[in-house]
Structure 1
Amino acid sequence: MHRISFIIIILGMSLLTACTTMVPRERLPYPLTDESFGDPVKVVTIPLPVIATSPNEGAILGGLTAFLLHNDRDEVNTLIAPQVNFNENFGTTFSLYGAFFPLPSRNWEFNLSKSTNVNEDYEVKFRDKTLLDGKLETTAFLYKFSDGSARFYGFQSDSRQENETNYADKEYGITAGVGYDIARNFQILFGERFRRVSIKEGAVEKVPSIHDLFTEGQVPGITGFTTHAQKLSLIFNTLDSRDMPTRGLFAKATFETSSELLGSDVDYNHYEVELKGYLPLNEARYISVARFAYNQTLGNKVPFLERSILGGETTLRGYGRNRFIDSSYLLCNLEERIRLFRWSVFDVTTDWEVAPFIDLGAVMESLDQARKSSFEFNPGIGFRAVVRPNIVGRVDIGVGSEGPAVFVGLGYPF
């Protein structure tokens, strides 16, 4: 949910200044450092402009300073990034992002963000896979946010641009999971999810409010809803890295159920299948990446934000988040990650990548109603700076039928 719009990597590098300092470890207490750090600690300080835009939010301008703390193996184990930016809809936003990688199998991150108008975001994520000789994996995500840029156009793939509406998506909740490796490359995962959503007036005054065009009868959940769901997944994974894979396969089949008996407003089920593949060439200078996904939601009066959704920085990158909503979707992402060069900038070794991509997807009531005319074709190109083993900054530019979209953020899209 956070968009710590923390890198415009390709643009304006000549304008950036940075420095490397050696700081006594006693001045950087836990969790900034731990026993994996030497003394003194190498800290690379990088000021960066924030120049971002998206179909929902519009232009964002500002700046941040990234502090990269290196352990005794000269790997970035801690990232801290305070940021200030401005947007015409949200006013001035102050945020603080942190990511911590104490072990290859343990990491956590937080984001604290507050705008002068509507928007706020408070998140904590945690992952650990050190228990039971590395066979048990636990994850948790605790959040509270308000997004005043949210959009709704109606259901189905032919929802019209002239029906665009705005609202503030106010949520709090928690998602937790426990996975166990039942065999080589196989994991079974049990998950629990609680979500409380309120739909309020948005921050984009030039776009009509969702309550002006739609009613609860037309759009279930438009007055808010509660979800308490349980999930079961079976995962097959041969990837060589969780966060920065260069080779291997990943397949996941998921069933999730939401029940009124356990606190949800409505009974419904989710079914999802996802397949990802990574094929490296020329010592991983070229990595061909493909993802295929199918999602189905079954139930009556399912809240609109609990249905199958496409659009945004990880699905259809030619559109804003949640652009297409219905009871099911089909999605295909193809991407070629090309390492242009490896360069040490500010004492940080970075892989500079370009990634042409194609996103193809459609929403529909059910799979048998999929039509060729329903699919959206989004070509585009991405630019990435990769600091191994755990940090990716990216800019993705996608083109849809309603124009281009630019997304800036952290991590690979898939």
Structure 2
Amino acid sequence: MKLNLPSVSLKRMTFPAFLFASLVFFSGLFAQTVENPVQISVKPASPVVHPGEQSALIVTLRIPQGFWIAASTHATRITPIADQVFQFQPPRFPRPDVAGVPVHLGTRQVYTGEVQAVVPFTVSPGAAPGAYTITLEITYIPALNAGELSTHFKEPYTTRIRVVFGGGGGGNPGLPQPARRPVPPDFLVKERKLQLPAPLSSMFYTWSEQSAVPRFLHRLFIDPPNHGKHIQTVWTPVVGSTENNGQSLGMGVALMNVTREGIMTGTLQFRGLYNEYAGATAGMEVISCPAAYFNYRFSAEISEDKNRQARFHMENLTLGKNDRFGFELQANAFQDPRYRFSGLGGATNEEDQTNYTHEEFGGFLDVYWLPVNHWRFFVGGRIRSVDVKRGADRLADDFPYTVDVAAFRNVPGIDGATVVGQEAGFVYDGRNQEFTPSRGTYFKFTAEFNQVTSSPKPVSTYGRFRTEFRRYFSTVDKRYTLLVRNSLTFTTSEKIPFFDQATLGGLENLRAFDLGRFYGQHAVFGSVELRYQAMHKVMMGFPMDLEVAPFVDFGQVFNSTDFEGEFNVNPGLSLRVLNKPNIGLIVNGAVGQDGVIFTGGVDFPF
């Protein structure tokens, strides 16, 4: 086995499919909507104290309707700045609630409504008379049902207190006590209405909720009654360049489904572009996340050169009493003339690359049972009917067609095949939220039994076992998050259709290679990634986090006897623009044996 530690080569560079450049360009024009959702005030129990006397500071946190903050000491902290005049005791908090938020991830102690915390202190006996400023640093994490937002870390709050001579010195039995109270129903995080000059007012138009378009879109996004959301238009450039798909340039318009806090829960986008391999292209995409563990995505695209695509994915784990049942559904019907194939195994080279049209109809359906928090079990079925044809006309001068290469004539599935399978497995999900998590463990095990139902049959039946592991570690302020990942695929036969073999490359694994770069009987993959929150900024009214994440990916495909070729070890850097807790734009750049490759796109970030 040869270890591949790549040198930097810039013979080919690519970058991701969607760049919402207007988010950055116009970010300074919009007001913060959820920058400080919790109202915090600090005041002394008594504005006048005496040397040697006991007193306290009262910290009031007013949490809006629909929000909560974690009650654990590492998530909500009140830290007085050291002072020789005042000796502080640990803060005292009221009793929290126990709630199952986010759903399916166990219970935790949380605060809602108005929370009054008390910070006792004693005035030094030798304190000089006069007015003093006391500063508290407060850390808290506001959260919605779908998950946590950005951490407010060591925010300073001050109050004034006066020390006078005379009286006191014997303690104060009347110290205030921690308490909780409800907040009014109309105590909400409210969006500031944007006042923009023309033509920006039409480019970023907010629709009246009484008109027909928002009413239709809220049904499309599966919003519940009294959702409190609105529809906002956003015009965006569409810029992309990947090795497989080629360069694209165009424009798009998105109708965003936005909460009053500035959280995007859905979008309907229409786009028109020109792609160098597929020609003039029109497409649309709808994404919605109505609730935690309930989301769907549909995309469709048509081009002048053979490209026809329709894909649908839905996850809903909120069915039945107490959300104990659910399903995951994927349906595909597409024809894409830009697919690449370099052969089987880890020893393939970029120079072996060929082009073909991948036609596929199929999908899968898994049914879930969630007997207890953190655990879910599933059974399901899958079908893939694939045909392999000549690729894009515009690529004929650059790559040979896969079906015309003599060396690939004996590759299983090169003439197409149909695979039908059944699967079962389980998931342990101990993350703090489904998307953009910062701590916890995720593990998934899947066992499959598959049948090749078409002729010729390179093999009639085969089994496959897959594991996926993720472990998240973060600092208290979530400024740094360490992600360790590992996955393993084991297949019982190496004679299965090539398109259904274990594969590496793309956005989610071995990011130094484009999608489908390696195919093999088995695959092993690992990654270590350190995410750093470099900036929190409002862009077009949406609170966004910019994360910078250096990483190292490693892995390879192999057969039952040994590793072939080079075991890849690929360093890289990821940029993540996140609208927590749901949607993000991910850009990855990594160095591998094919040079420097960029991958990315808009998705639900893991």
What's the TM-score, normalizing by structure 2?
Answer: 0.63
Instruction: Tell me what 1:289 maps to.
Output: 483
Amino acid at match of 1:213: V
> Is residue 570 of structure 2 the alignment partner of residue 378 of structure 1?
yes
- Which residue is 1:64 aligned to? 252
CA spacing shift, 1:413–1:402, aligned 2, 3 Å:
farther
By how many angstroms is 1:293 displaced?
0.9
Whether the aligned pair in 1 keeps the contact of 2:257 and 2:264 (CA below 8 Å) is yes
**What's the CA shift for 1:387?**
0.9
Rate the CA distance shift 1:263–1:277 in 2: closer, same or farther, 3 A: farther
Match of 1:44 among 232, 249, 261: 232
Equivalence for 1:226: 418
Instruction: Decide which moves more: 18-27 or 228-237.
Output: 18-27
Q: How many residues align?
A: 409
Aligned residue identity for 1:235: V
Residue pairs, 1:325-344, within 5 angstroms: 325-344=519-538
1:375-396 Cα distance to aligned partner (Å, 9 max, x none): 1122211212111221111111
8 Å contact kept, 1:268–1:300: no
Of residues 17, 21, 26 in structure 1, which corresponds to 2:206? Answer: 21
The change in CA–CA distance for 1:186 and 1:12 in structure 2 (over 3 A counts) is: closer
1:82 equivalenced with 2:275 (yes/no): no
Alignment of 1:340-359 (within 5 A): 340-359=534-553
Deviation at 1:199, TM superposition (A): 0.4
**Aligned pairs (5 A) from 1:123-134:** 123-132=311-320, 133-134=322-323
Q: Alignment partner for residue 212 of structure 1, among 404, 408, 431? A: 404
Q: Which whole-Å CA distance do the structure 1 matches of 2:294 and 2:23 have between them?
A: 33
Alignment check: 8 A CA contact 1:384 1:394 kept = yes
Distance 1:412 1:359, change over 3 A: farther
Counterpart selection for 2:18 from 6, 31, 40: 6
CA change 1:258–1:38 in 2 (3 A) is closer
Mapped to 1, the partners of 2:514 and 2:503 lie a distance apart of 11
Distance 1:147 1:171 in 2: 9
Give the whole-Å Cα distance in 1 for the aligned partners of 2:405 and 2:411: 10
Structure 1 residues 43-90: Cα deviation after superposition (integer angstroms, max 9, x where no partner): 333222222222212222222222212235553232111111212110
Given that 1:228 and 1:262 are in contact with CA atoms closer than 8 Å, whether structure 2 keeps it comes out as no
Retained in 2: the 8 A contact 1:8–1:394?
no
Partners of 1:196 and 1:285 in 2: CA distance: 45
Work out the CA distance in 2 between the residues paired with 1:336 and 1:280. Answer: 10
Match of 1:99 in 2: 287
CA distance in 1, matches of 2:406, 2:362: 26
Looking at secondary structure, tell me which structure has more strand per residue.
Answer: 1
Matched, 1:180 2:362: no
CA separation in 1, counterparts of 2:242 and 2:605?
Answer: 15
Is 1:387 matched up with 2:579? yes
- Name which of 446, 449, 456 aligns with 1:254: 446
Give the equivalent residue in structure 2 for 1:312. 506
Q: What is the alpha-carbon distance in structure 2 between the residues aligned to residue 409 and residue 346 of structure 1?
A: 19
Tell me the SS of whatever aligns to 1:182.
coil
**Shift in CA distance, 14/25, structure 1 to aligned 2, threshold 3 Å:** closer
Counterpart in 1 of 2:224?
Answer: 35
SS in 2 for 1:398: strand
Which residue identity does 1:107 align to in structure 2?
N
CA distance in 1, matches of 2:374, 2:368: 12
Per-residue deviation, 1:101:
2.1
Give the aligned residue type for 2:562: Q
Of 357, 368, 379 in structure 2, the residue corresponding to residue 168 of structure 1 is 357
Aligned residue in 1 for 2:55 = none
What's the offset of the Cα at 1:262? 11
CA pair 12-208 structure 1, distance change in 2 beyond 3 A? farther
Distance 1:395 1:261 in 2: 39
What is the deviation of 1:277? 0.7
Aligned to 1:120: 308
Instruction: Give deviations 1:96-145, integer Å, cap 9, x for gaps.
Output: 11112222232222111111112121122222112231121211111111
Partner Cα separation in structure 1 for residue 386 and residue 305 of structure 2: 19
- With CA pairs under 8 Å and 6+ residues apart, which has the higher RCO, 1 or 2? 2
Residue 129 of structure 1 aligns to a residue in which SS?
A: strand
Q: Distance in 1 between matches of 2:325 and 2:454?
A: 26
What corresponds to 1:136 in structure 2? 325
Give 1:243's aligned residue.
Answer: 435
- Selected match of 2:334 from 145, 160, 181: 145
**What is the RMSD of the two structures over their aligned residues, measured on CA atoms?**
2.6
Shift of 1:196: 0.6
2:298 to 110, 118, 138: 110
* TM-score normalised by the chain length of structure 1: 0.91
Secondary structure of the residue aligned to 2:403 is helix
Stretches of structure 1 lacking an aligned partner (at least 5 in a row): none
Quote the Cα distance in structure 2 between the aligned partners of 1:149 and 1:87. 11
The amino acid of 1:393's aligned partner reads L
Distance 1:52 1:329, change over 3 A: same
Check the 8 A contact 1:25/1:33 in 2, yes or no. Answer: no
CA distance in 1, matches of 2:309, 2:336: 8
